[in-house]
Amino acid sequence: MNTIHFHISKFRSALLDWFRQNKRLLPWRGQSHWYPVFLSEFLLQQTQVKQALPYYHNFIRAFPDIHLLAAASEEEILARWTGLGYYARARNLLKAAKDIVDRFNGNFPQNYYDALTLPGIGPYTAAAILSIAFNLPHAVVDGNVTRVLTRLFRFEQDIRIPSTRKTLEQLSEQLLDPAQPGDFNEAMMELGALLCKPRQPDCDHCPLLFACKAGKSENPGNYPIRSKLPEKRRLHHFVYLIEKENRLLLVRRPQNGLLGGMWEFPVSENGHYKPEHTILGELLHKEYGIHGRVRDISPQLQHVYSHLHLRFHAVVIADVKGRFKKGFYRDYVWKAVNEMSGRFLHSAHHKAWEWYKTTKS
């Protein structure tokens, strides 16, 4: 049983005093409108602040309010999101913006359960926006807060188990300062980001050391306890850069699934095939119904996703004949090479594009 073993008022005061003196100056903090917080929370899902910052500035310049964001095309949102990963977030950001404009007259709903009806907004994101932007008493539990709580209470349960998360949420609700819920939540997350780090936590400067069981036992690195995830799946692809009259063929992935709605070059899963010219030509014709000459083949390239390790060879195809069959893909377009830029592609195929440019020099 994880009972609170310290004075909550002392805990809150120590944490909030530290936060006021040490918090990072982030562009969405201290804003009078909820929109910067809303945008930042989508960008920060599964992403560290330093990675999200340039994307935040890009988005806030392009779409300074919810109405402009809601009016954007999915293609424009995905292009600006390129490189950040987890592209379902980008599509949900746009859907949520449209929903806020259409259903809530351009205002973020201040009822927790209404907020949960918005695409891409789960319990954490709803609580974060409502507490930080509206000062409503909803506690948050993200990765940083989980780390702080499990060390405070020397929590022995596996955090991947749903019942464990429920317990952590209940503890967080008990600790929350109802008078300053937004600052309290940000302070807990900031403590986890700056001091209570996964490796080498800075316990000597922690304002909560007086209350921390793991810190006093000098074993905070043992927490949180989590079971191992399964190994990343491995895939091998050929990525075709198909040339025709100074244009390249781009295809759009289906809306659902990995990289949904993103543009890329056509691919073939190569299994155990070696990157040989004859085999590549046969695979290309079988998959897409066209013939062509293999002009160049890249060395092996790779890209790592959260659950997937992708290895691939980029293959330049010239002298194309036949009609392209889009098969798996939603759509395709021939894009002039001199109009191409990496912003049209997801990160893995951006690597193929960068290699391709070296073959043209």
pLDDT 10s digits, 66-121: 999 999 998 899 889 988 888 889 999 999 999 999 999 999 999 999 999 999 99
Calpha distance 210→6 (Å, rounded): 9
Residues acting as catalytic residues: 41
Residue 268: per-residue pLDDT: 86
Tokens 């190569």 found at? 270
The mean of the pLDDT values for the chain is 90
Strand partners, 241: 316
Residue 270 has pLDDT above 80, yes or no: no
Where in 265-307 does DSSP place strands (E)? 267-269, 291-297, 301-304
Task: Give the 3-state secondary structure percentages of the chain, helix then strand then coil, rounded to 5.
Answer: 45, 15, 40
Residue 271: per-residue pLDDT: 60
Q: Which stretch, 32-41, 209-218, 327-336, has highest mean pLDDT?
A: 32-41
Residue 272 has pLDDT above 70, yes or no: no
Element (H, E) at 354: helix 347-360
pLDDT tier at 231, thresholds 50, 70, 90: confident
Calpha distance 134→348 (Å, rounded): 39
Q: How many residues does the chain have?
A: 361
Calpha distance 208→18 (Å, rounded): 9
Domains recognised in the chain with CATH numbers:
8-222 (1.10.340.30), 233-360 (3.90.79.10)
Q: Average pLDDT of 136-163?
A: 94
Going by DSSP bridges, is the β-strand pair 263-264/301-304 parallel, antiparallel, or unpaired? unpaired
297 neighbors 313 (Cβ within 8 angstroms): yes
